[in-house]
Structure 1
Amino acid sequence: MTVLEPVTAAVLGIGLLHERLQVSGSGLTVLIVATLVMAVSTVALAREEAHLQEEL
């Protein structure tokens, strides 16, 4: 599994399958926070993987 799998899945779902979420109020806040956490986690995992590759 690569660190970009979640991002790729989201892009394919939105771009190719035209998936949409209908949220409002607190649901929108949760969605925004979850998206930010996913983005930060993806960057952190990518950096860690790059660091491990350098050690080899």
Structure 2
Amino acid sequence: MYGNETIARSQYLERVGEAEQLRRGHYLALARRSSRRAERAALQARLVLARSL
């Protein structure tokens, strides 16, 4: 009972692990992008405020 099933299970777990890493990387990239966008918006707001004073 040791053989194909064990190999299949280990390959499956490997794929799941890879998918998790990809997903984590994707979310990190999204978070970085949105924080960059927020920083840009804050800078823009500061400039507008400075000009209006």
Q: For the superposition of Structure 1 and Structure 2, which TM-score range results when normalised by the shorter chain? A: 0.5 to 0.7
CA root-mean-square deviation: 1.1
Alignment size in residue pairs: 34
Higher helix proportion? 2
Identity percentage of aligned residues: 6
Q: Distance in 2 between matches of 1:27 and 1:49?
A: 33
Q: TM-score, normalised by structure 1?
A: 0.56
User: Displacement, 1:24?
Assistant: 2.3
Greater Cα radius of gyration, structure 1 or 2: 2
Q: Distance in 2 between matches of 1:31 and 1:24?
A: 11
Q: TM-score, normalised by structure 2?
A: 0.59
Partner of residue 24 from structure 2, selected from 46, 52, 55: 46
List aligned pairs for 1:1-56, cutoff 5 A.
Answer: 24-56=2-34
Q: Distance in 1 between matches of 2:2 and 2:20?
A: 26
- Of structures 1 and 2, the one with the larger relative CO (CA 8 A, separation 6+) is 1
